[in-house]
């Protein structure tokens, strides 16, 4: 009944969608409701409907930093495919579902510089701003001018970068159930040739360090630059450790891999093992960077 009502207004809505098809870990059970959002302006009405009907909801980008649980999600998962963007002088305005890689390409095509170090970082600009994605020395916060947000209590509103607290892989946008609808980035004039050379270097570094496969990138936050999570897990003797098809990469110990048919639980258990061993050896508490969605 509820589904029919929702489908009437949002015909693309689906039921029992396997979430493993929507994340780079390739694990996760079904979402009761699933919607591929191509028009970001639908957000206020969609969320009003879920709020009125007490349906839990969560927006995702490309699922490159999430671990969907095996039980899946009892509510609505909104996959953000709203990806229009444009250049305006030294600024780029984008809908939050635009890929960071598309925006970097656009910036270089327009002789704008700044984002090159983030080349190779997968996912959407909305996901990147929400989690202040970055690499050592460069974070997306350096380029954010403003965002347009939605949440159920305040509706749609604009927020300037100086009103947002950006920390290491964390922002104040995470405090409420905020949905980032649009992002405006401010870049600077650059030189295409130099930018391309830098991106080539960044690409080589990434390829040298990171394993390829079903993964969500760094599983834990780095407790400090001197003792990154990968080093700590390696020193705890866990490189290459497996539970079922879940594996701590032998190439980079902060990369947890689904080597075939891993379950979310196996990945989670491997993460718990890493936490315990690192705590025992170094008295350091590892904190997850990857977001768990659903009940374990
Ligand atoms: C191979 C690989 C390498 C990676 N390397 C890096 C790296 O170098 N640095 C780094 O920082 N990260 C890295 N990551 C992690 C990931 O790329 C980033 O966190 C990325 O910004 C997530 O974007 P996404 O669109 O996939 O978000 P998702 O994974 O879909 O979502 C992540 C979180 O953001 C929230 N979210 C997404 N979109 C919105 C929105 N519009 N409004 C509100 N909340 C939203 C989701 O609810 C979820 O909690 C890597 C991942 C992989 C797979």
Report the CATH number at residue 250.
3.90.78.10
Ligand 1 lined by 258 (C-beta under 6 Å) = no
Is residue 249 lining ligand 1, measured as CB closer than 6 Å?
no
For residue 200, tell me if it sits in a domain: no
169 catalytically annotated: yes
In a domain, 205, yes or no: no
**Is the pLDDT confidence value at 267 over 90?**
yes
Indicate if 289 belongs to the active site. yes
Query: Which of the residues 14, 58, 105, 169 is marked catalytic?
Result: 169
Looking at 27, 48, 80, which one is the last position of a domain?
Answer: 80
Q: How far is the CA of 170 from the centre of ligand 1 (A)?
A: 11
Q: Answer yes or no: is 40 within a domain.
A: yes
256 lines ligand 1 (CB under 6 A): no
If asked whether residues 258 and 288 sit together in one domain, one would say yes
- The whole domain housing 60 covers 2-80
Q: Over 90: is that where the pLDDT of 2 sits?
A: no
Last residue of a domain, one of 17, 50, 80: 80
Mean pLDDT along residues 90-116: 98
Q: Is the CB of 130 under 6 A from ligand 1?
A: yes
My answer on whether 89 and 189 are in the same domain is yes
> How confident is the model over 24-29, as a mean pLDDT?
98
Nearest CA owner, ligand 1 atom 31? 60
Name the pTM for this structure.
0.97
89 and 171 assigned to the same domain: yes
- Mean pLDDT calculated for residue range 158-183: 97
In a domain, 202, yes or no: no
Q: Which of 213, 179, 211 is nearest to 78 (CA)?
A: 179
State the Cα–Cα distance between residues 164 and 278, nearest whole angstrom.
32
Active-site residue, selected from the candidate residues 17, 90, 116, 289: 289
pLDDT at 101 over 90: yes
Q: What is the pLDDT of residues 211-242, one digit of tens each?
A: 999 999 999 999 999 999 999 999 999 999 99
Residue 203 covered by a domain:
no
Residue at which a domain ends, from 80, 99, 126: 80
146 & 96 share domain? yes
**Is the CB of 29 inside a 6 Å radius of any atom of ligand 1?**
no
Among the listed residues 82, 107, 195, 218, the single catalytic one is 218
Residue 38 lies in a domain: yes
Instruction: Tell me the CA–centroid distance for residue 146 and ligand 1, in Å.
Output: 19
Whole-number average pLDDT of the chain: 97
63 C-alpha to ligand 1 centroid (Å): 7
Checking if the pLDDT of 130 tops 90, the result is: yes
Does residue 70 fall inside a structural domain? yes
Q: Number of structural domains, the chain? A: 3
Assigned domain for 152 exists: yes
């Amino acid at each position: 009944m509820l589904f029919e009502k929702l489908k009437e207004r949002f015909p693309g809505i689906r039921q029992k969608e396997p979430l493993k098809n929507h994340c780079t870990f390739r694990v996760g059970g079904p979402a009761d409701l699933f919607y591929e959002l191509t028009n970001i302006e639908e957000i206020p009405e969609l969320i009003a409907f879920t709020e009125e009907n007490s349906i839990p909801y969560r927006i995702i980008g490309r699922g490159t930093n999430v671990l969907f649980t095996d039980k899946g999600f009892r509510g609505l998962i909104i996959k953000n495919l709203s990806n229009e963007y444009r250049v305006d002088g030294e600024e780029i305005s984008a809908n939050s579902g635009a890929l960071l890689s598309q925006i970097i390409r656009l910036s270089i095509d327009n002789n704008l510089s700044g984002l090159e170090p983030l080349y190779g970082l997968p996912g959407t600009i909305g996901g990147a701003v929400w989690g202040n994605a970055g690499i050592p020395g460069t974070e997306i916060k350096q380029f954010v001018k403003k965002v347009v947000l939605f949440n159920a209590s305040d509706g749609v509103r604009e927020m300037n970068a100086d009103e947002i607290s950006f920390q290491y892989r964390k922002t104040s946008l995470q405090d409420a159930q905020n949905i980032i609808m649009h992002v405006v980035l401010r870049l600077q004039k650059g030189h295409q040739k130099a930018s391309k050379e830098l991106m080539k270097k960044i690409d080589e570094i990434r390829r040298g360090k990171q394993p390829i496969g079903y993964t969500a990138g760094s599983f834990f936050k780095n407790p400090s630059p001197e003792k990154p999570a990968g080093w700590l897990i390696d020193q705890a003797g866990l490189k290459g450790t497996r539970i079922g098809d879940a594996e701590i990469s032998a190439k980079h110990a902060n990369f947890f891999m689904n080597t075939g048919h891993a379950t979310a639980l196996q990945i989670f258990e491997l993460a718990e093992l890493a936490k315990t061993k690192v705590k025992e050896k170094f008295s350091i508490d590892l904190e997850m960077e990857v977001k768990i969605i659903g009940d374990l």
